[in-house]
Structure 1
Amino acid sequence: MKYLFFLLLTLSFTTFFAQNNINTYIEEGIAYHDKGEYDKALATYEKALILDPQSTVVNYEMALSYFKKNDYKNTIARADMVLKKNEDNLVNAYLIKGSALDMMGEVKQSIKLFEKAMRKFPDDYLLPYNLALNHYKLNQMEEAKENVIKALENNPSHGSSHWMLANIESEQGNTVQSLLANYYFLFLEPNSSRSLDAYTMLQLNFSGNVTKGKDEAITINISMSDGDDPFSAAALMLGLMGASNMLPENADKTSEELFVENTNSFFQVLGELKKEKEKGLYWNFYVPFFYDLAKSNHLEAYCMYISQSGNENAEAWLNENSEKLKAFAAWLKM
């Protein structure tokens, strides 16, 4: 009995030290990876594999480093080892394998893989987001839109999904929907690398259908949509609002003042247009949030906050109105 106890104790300590060494190698490998030293990272992960060749963590980290080296075949091979074991890191393995297939030009295979993964993990948001990206690349806009909306339903705080949706709707000529997605993206990412593009698109969507001729005549270009389109009234209002900005009585207003006024009118109209029968992301997520914001005392703070990447005056306003920003943040937590 003593020998059996000693053997079990020895095995326990051996397992403990082996796992401890694996974790050390993994941490060391991740540090190399983060510094862009992918070969050193892979060499370190190989040491960990000697201790546990089936480790899903090690194989996934190796897949990441191979991906960064543009070695997509080895990326897929390591991801497949994770998927074959069918324990943990499965979503991550599907994502990296799907991305590798995409980079190899196998977009349709990538789509099939993501669809399979989504059946297993219906609540994940990165799977439908990456699937939407693939459809977007193939110019399959409706499929892209369907899946990016699914990603947002699973995670409304995913900025990249809002940005993709804004671009899809803009390309399809759906100005109101594009504005809503863009407004929320800028709320999440007011000062990221993509924010200036988003801010520019926002401004263009507000004024792009209004022109002023040499004779000072203002023309509103409205495309006639289906009469059942619940956004048609808001689209017409955008045109009228753009025309109003060019009237003499608004000549003395700053661009910031007009932006706040236009945003308030846009949100108010959409809130008032919402009916019980209206469903989906736009009417159940975007519109209620922005309508509540328009009825609050924080719309100016919001407008300045989302304008900081493309407007120096907005940035100055933020620096001078920290208390209003704190009040806005407190309102958001309510």
Structure 2
Amino acid sequence: MRLNYFVFVVMISFCGMNAQDKTAALKLVGEGVAFHDKGEYENAIKKYDEALTVDVDNLTALSEKAYSLSSLHQYEEAIALCKIALKKHPKEKGLQFIYVTYGNALDHLKKTDQAFAMYDKGIKKFPDYYQLPFNKGIAYSGLRKYDEAITCFQQAIAINPYHLGSLNGIARLEMIQGNKIPSILGFCSYFIQDPQSSRAAENLKNLIDVLDGNVKKTGDKAISISLDSKMFDKAVKKGKPEANDFSTTELTLTLAVALDYDEKYQNDTDVVKFIRKFERMCASLNESKIDNHGFYWETWVPYFLELHKNNFSETLGYLVFATTETEDVTNWFNTHEVQINQFYDWSKNYEWPKK
């Protein structure tokens, strides 16, 4: 009995020490993350090493150290740590971040096939972790395989409709591909989440190029309209349009853009012109929605039609142009706080289609 009691006491003491070790390790990891966020990766790694001394094979410490090593371009070392984490913690939830770091390190080492295999393993194990398809999309984008990248970004958005990186990726790649309406919807989705950063300012320039690209002023009272013939070449198979066909809406939008040069609208502000074009686009989308299909028709079109129906087109317009900080934009933001809050409450509670 005395021996059993001694073993019991030792076990209790050991469990208490183990809990203390984990708490101390997590505190050190937190200090390391603070260094990492400041770009002090080597100091961060020192903290993670201290954490691993206190609690050997601590998954959070391994994960964060691998990330900092990767940030220092020490990809082989990062991969070695990822392998340890996978071996020591094969069933823990925290591994999703390990799969991202592992895949990214392989991608940087130009081991592309292995990187995709690692992303796919992670996606299979953690299907609800949007960072995995997003980073896979980044890898495809680096190879200029834009269709594959867009598909990955769509998968990420199906999990997290508000993910900035995926919204930005789709908007820019669809712009490169010449797909105007998906690109416009992507940029607008981006501005809703990030209306005022330096990237938002870049994206506003991109959006204006996409919006107005089919119409050029050629003289004091002359404009030219150019439409890509591919827009009308979308095959209709068995009476059903091709997925994500927006040819009708693009034509409608092009004609709306041409009205910017009409004397009736020339004195309108850029925001007012955008709102008018956006509303014309929504009208066309609403008329065409029954006969069309595809990711954008099923995911973004219902959102923006509901946005328009709830009279938030004006709010969207000013969010899109927030980085310009012109007098009209600044005045609007100063006097419409209630409307802005109502919009974000609506957007936050919007029910997106299930994956």
Q: Using structure 1 for the length normalisation, give the TM-score.
A: 0.92
Distance 1:91 1:285 in 2: 26
8 Å contact 2:253–2:280 — kept in the other structure? Answer: no
Alpha-carbon deviation of 1:145? 1.4
Quote the residue 2:239 is aligned against. Answer: none
Residue 107 of structure 1 is aligned with which of 112, 120, 125?
112
- Where in structure 2 are the equivalents of 1:55-66 lying within 5 Å? 55-66=58-69
8 Å contact 2:272–2:317 — kept in the other structure? Answer: no
Quote the residue 2:181 is aligned against. Answer: 176
Distance 1:283 1:188 in 2: 20
Distance 1:44 1:331 in 2: 43
Quote the residue 2:304 is aligned against. Answer: 290
Query: Which one-letter code corresponds to 1:19 in the other structure?
Result: K
8 Å contact 1:177–1:282 — kept in the other structure? Answer: yes
Distance 1:253 1:16 in 2: 65
Q: Does 1:237 align with 2:252?
A: yes
Residue 204 of structure 2 is aligned with which of 199, 203, 206?
199
Quote the residue 2:138 is aligned against. Answer: 133
- Where in structure 2 are the equivalents of 1:215-226 lying within 5 Å? 216-224=221-229, 225=231, 226=233
Residue 46 of structure 1 is aligned with which of 46, 49, 61?
49
Distance 1:201 1:131 in 2: 24
Residue 10 of structure 1 is aligned with which of 13, 28, 37?
13
Alpha-carbon spacing, 1:296–1:13, altered in 2? closer, same or farther (3 Å): closer
Quote the residue 2:217 is aligned against. Answer: 212
Quote the residue 2:125 is aligned against. Answer: 120
Alpha-carbon deviation of 1:102? 2.2
Distance 1:317 1:118 in 2: 44
Distance 2:112 2:39 in 1: 27
Alpha-carbon deviation of 1:301? 1.7
Distance 1:124 1:279 in 2: 26
Distance 1:121 1:195 in 2: 31
Quote the residue 1:96 is aligned against. Answer: 101
Distance 2:30 2:308 in 1: 48
Quote the residue 2:79 is aligned against. Answer: 76
Alpha-carbon deviation of 1:202? 1.3
Q: Which runs of 4+ in 1 moved over 4 A?
A: none
Distance 2:222 2:202 in 1: 30
Alpha-carbon deviation of 1:127? 0.9
Distance 1:293 1:187 in 2: 11
8 Å contact 1:48–1:58 — kept in the other structure? Answer: yes
Distance 2:269 2:50 in 1: 63
SS of the residue corresponding to residue 218 of structure 1 reads strand
Alpha-carbon deviation of 1:311? 4.6
SS of the residue corresponding to residue 224 of structure 2 reads strand
Distance 2:54 2:267 in 1: 73
Alpha-carbon spacing, 1:36–1:168, altered in 2? closer, same or farther (3 Å): closer
8 Å contact 2:63–2:98 — kept in the other structure? Answer: yes
Distance 1:9 1:330 in 2: 49
Quote the residue 1:87 is aligned against. Answer: 91
Query: Which one-letter code corresponds to 2:320 in the other structure?
Result: I
Query: Which one-letter code corresponds to 1:278 in the other structure?
Result: N
Which stretch has the larger CA shift, 32-41 or 65-74? 32-41
Alpha-carbon spacing, 1:297–1:100, altered in 2? closer, same or farther (3 Å): same
Provide structure 1 residue ranges, at least 5 long, that are not aligned to the other structure. Answer: none
Quote the residue 1:19 is aligned against. Answer: 22
Alpha-carbon spacing, 1:49–1:286, altered in 2? closer, same or farther (3 Å): same
Alpha-carbon deviation of 1:300? 0.9
Distance 2:49 2:167 in 1: 39
- Where in structure 2 are the equivalents of 1:21-40 lying within 5 Å? 21-40=24-43
Alpha-carbon spacing, 1:5–1:91, altered in 2? closer, same or farther (3 Å): closer
8 Å contact 1:56–1:81 — kept in the other structure? Answer: no
Query: Which one-letter code corresponds to 1:44 in the other structure?
Result: K
Q: Using structure 2 for the length normalisation, give the TM-score.
A: 0.87
Distance 1:215 1:254 in 2: 19
Distance 2:27 2:54 in 1: 12
Query: Which one-letter code corresponds to 1:24 in the other structure?
Result: K
Quote the residue 2:318 is aligned against. Answer: 304
Which stretch has the larger CA shift, 134-143 or 10-19? 10-19
8 Å contact 1:304–1:315 — kept in the other structure? Answer: no
Give the total of aligned pairs.
333
Quote the residue 1:279 is aligned against. Answer: 293
